[in-house]
């Protein structure tokens, strides 16, 4: 039994940039790289195990063939997806369906509730989060008339902020934002507004207005997220959210901290600093941009160093 280190998959996007290379040293495919799929079992970009007995195996295959590593979960697919997003330009304004709607309309895909931890952003950065319409009628009318400034809510952000984005929430990352996203393992997006941008071939990207209007929550409510911090020996653990879909934490390790999770597998992403993870006399390097899974049954392990990790589990 070992921690499982993962090799990320990169996605080029019209809004992407080079921050994933600059910040994490990743070998990105181009200077329009928008997404690092860091811990993924999704068919559109599964990550590959890098070490140990399962080296070379994709995470979706490991999920199917070694269910004991995941506590013999009864879920059909690995439920989570961890990404790092470099919004070098504004992303399209979008919304995701819930499980029921996606199941019926998207070939059995999962819905998508997601959340963002802001690793870094430019000064005065913001996101689009929610809308001002009071009824579906009003929502439909403002979308059809293109009254985006009236409709969309802009929210200021700073490094360290956390946003919970339930399915049905209209949202967009905006220029100059680097986030770690924890989400349901789904790739279903309904695009509402794309700033009338054209791609390299001169084409507008497709919009999905009818489906979007179907699934947007009206009126918008901010999820009440109040992070709590628990101080243990050489680690401060921030709990951001514990929802039906996932729980997300940040671990600030300063020194040597010991952990044990007998019944739960964990997804770990190092977002700052460096150190080691030590398990049964084996030492593995952790550095900014390292992603790993702690399988069920690993037992006690230690993280030593000076680093921050975003941690999640279903």
Catalytic site positions: 191
Partners of 131 in the β-ladder: 152
Report the distance separating Cα 298 and Cα 68, nearest Å.
11
Per-position DSSP letters for 45-77, written without gaps between them: S--EE-SGGGTT-BHHHHHHH-GGGGTT---SS
> DSSP letter at 180?
E
Compute CA 64 distance to the chain's CA centroid, rounded to the nearest angstrom.
22
Bridge partners of 39?
82
Measured over the CA atoms of residue 191, residue 211, residue 313 and residue 108, the dihedral's sign is negative
Q: How far apart are CA 170 and CA 56, in angstroms?
A: 38
- Residue pair 87/46 in contact by the 8 Å Cβ criterion: no
DSSP, res 312:
E
């Amino acid at each position: 039994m070992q921690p499982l280190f993962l090799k990320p998959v990169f996605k080029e996007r019209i809004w992407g940039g080079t921050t994933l290379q600059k910040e994490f040293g990743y070998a990105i495919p181009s200077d329009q790289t928008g997404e690092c799929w860091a811990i993924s079992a999704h068919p559109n970009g599964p990550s590959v195990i890098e070490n140990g007995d399962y080296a070379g195996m994709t995470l979706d295959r490991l999920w199917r063939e070694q269910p004991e590593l995941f506590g013999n979960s009864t879920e059909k697919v690995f439920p989570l997806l961890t990404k790092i997003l470099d919004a070098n330009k504004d992303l399209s304004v979008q919304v995701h369906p819930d499980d029921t709607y996606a199941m019926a309309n998207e070939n059995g895909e999962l819905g998508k509730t997601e959340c963002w931890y802001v690793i870094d952003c430019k000064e005065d950065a913001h996101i689009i989060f929610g809308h001002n319409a009071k009824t579906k009628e009003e929502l439909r009318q403002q979308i059809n008339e293109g009254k985006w400034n009236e409709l969309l809510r802009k929210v200021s952000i700073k490094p360290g902020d956390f946003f919970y984005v339930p399915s049905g929430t209209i949202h967009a990352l905006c220029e100059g934002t680097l986030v770690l996203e924890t989400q349901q393992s789904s790739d279903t997006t309904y695009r509402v507004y794309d700033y009338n941008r054209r791609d390299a071939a001169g084409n507008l990207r497709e919009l999905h207005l009818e489906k979007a209007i179907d699934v947007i929550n009206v009126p918008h409510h901010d999820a009440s997220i109040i992070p709590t911090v628990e101080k243990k020996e050489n680690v401060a653990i921030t709990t951001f959210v514990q929802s039906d879909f996932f729980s997300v934490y940040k671990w600030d390790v300063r020194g040597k901290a010991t952990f044990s999770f007998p019944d739960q597998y964990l997804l770990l992403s190092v977002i700052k600093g460096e150190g080691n993870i030590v398990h049964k006399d084996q030492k593995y390097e952790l550095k900014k941009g390292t992603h790993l899974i702690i399988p069920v049954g690993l037992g006690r392990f230690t993280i030593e160093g000076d680093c921050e990790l975003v941690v999640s589990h279903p």
